[in-house]
Amino acid sequence: MRYRPPRLAHGDTGNDRWDLCMTATSLRITLLLGFLCSIVGFNAAAHADTLVLKGGTLYAAPEAASVADAVVVATDGVITAVGNSNQVQVPHDARVIDCAGKTIVAGFWNSHVHFTEAAWRNAANAPAAPLTQHMQDMLTRWGFTTVWDLGSDPADTLPLRRRVDSGEVPGPNIRVAGNMFPKGGHPVYVPREVQLPEVTTPDEAAQLARVYLGMGEDGIKLFTGAFMGDKPVINMDPAIAKAAVDVAHAQGKPVFAHPQNKTGVETVIAAGVDVLAHTTPSESGYTAEQLARFKAQGIALIPTLALFTTVVLDPNVTARLVDVTVNQVRQFSENGGPVLFGTDVGFTKQYDTSQEYELMHRALSERQVLASLTTNPARYFKAVKKGRVEQGLDADLVVLDGDPMADVRNLAKVAYTIRAGRVIYQRP
């Protein structure tokens, strides 16, 4: 991993700041040109045909009744008709996918991924075929049409996003968040040779947030607590966290946080962070006061439950971690908070989403799990054209081999993943 983000430190010179500003300006120009090219490329590549899903069972939204023998028509990347076979006429020139015996739902969001594996290095120039294969292994074969990258090297992720949007590398819509760590808070699980962006003052945090967002990133992620192994957790000062939050919110961008303990959770609340990027296995549960603040401030939660089955070898410890984190999800959901699906894939090698669904189902109903993948993130991140299967919305769709209301693990049995009316994964 070669993450080399902008770093700020006490005693930086005027030239250092000038270089940082010039770098950010150059990146903004490059990203703008790339973005304009990607719009043209993606529209041409992805919106050329009419696609019809025919004969499956449709859940237009998690709370909706199922529709048997459904027909979904997508033209120019937009859903143009939805109904059953008696209500919708199939265009004569359409590509028709037979969905008999299958289930149709909206495209999935994974709100916590990382493009940090070796496969993504030099993504700007690497051959498209291996990138496409790894994208399939990691994301598209599991139904993901939109993802949040919560920490990677922008020199790789931003060019990768441009190639995905151009249609050259079939993949999901990628949103990117820039990371900040507390001073001295280099987590033990990150190799020491990897340079991390540590901030020591509110001004540094605010400046780094502006640089990230100026580069074209879509949000900020704060390590409000850094795990240091057998040494005490290093927590971020709430004033530093709030400085970054204020910059992001001024531009309408969300802020995620990785807390490691109760202090880190309290910093999330005090700083006005939007999304808890993990549950907190070191704590037995959320307090009544924390739950009240979560609800009042509209804070969302990404559970990443399966992650905690990979961090220790002792099965008894693993069972305890799972019990604690599942309980936190139950508390959070019953309190009315939005739960967003996320796996931390890229940091973990566990691409298969089946276990995450099983663990979430201990706290949530099948429909609530589906909502965490679809309507919850679309609503939370104000993606008004996504999250449901309705006329006029983006044609982001997933075709499943089984009914997820009968068995939540069927959410991992993906036959087709479709982004903007284009098939980006088809089961062999």
* Residue whose structure tokens are 């939660």: 301
Give the CA-trace dihedral at 221, 326, 280, 299, to 10 degrees.
50
Q: What distance in Å separates the CA atoms of residue 45 and residue 111, rounded to the nearest whole number?
A: 26
Q: What distance in Å separates the CA atoms of residue 232 and residue 260, rounded to the nearest whole number?
A: 11
Domains belonging to the chain, first-starting first, are 108-386 (3.20.20.140)
What pLDDT is stored for residue 1 in this prediction?
39
Quickly count: other Cβ atoms within 10 Å of residue 293's Cβ: 17
* Residue whose structure tokens are 């949007």: 165
* Residue whose structure tokens are 């069927």: 410
Could you state, in chain order, the average pLDDT of each consecutive group of 10 residues for the chain (428 residues)? 43 36 40 40 50 98 98 97 96 96 98 97 97 98 98 96 98 98 95 92 98 97 96 97 98 98 98 98 95 98 96 90 97 98 97 98 98 98 98 98 98 98 97
What pLDDT is stored for residue 48 in this prediction?
46
DSSP 346-386: TTB-----HHHHHHHHTTS-HHHHHHHHTHHHHHHTT-TT-
pTM of the model: 0.89
What pLDDT is stored for residue 33 in this prediction?
40
279 Cβ partners below 8 Å, 6+ apart? 301, 303, 304, 305, 308, 324, 325, 328, 329
What pLDDT is stored for residue 313 in this prediction?
81
What pLDDT is stored for residue 312 in this prediction?
83
What pLDDT is stored for residue 35 in this prediction?
40
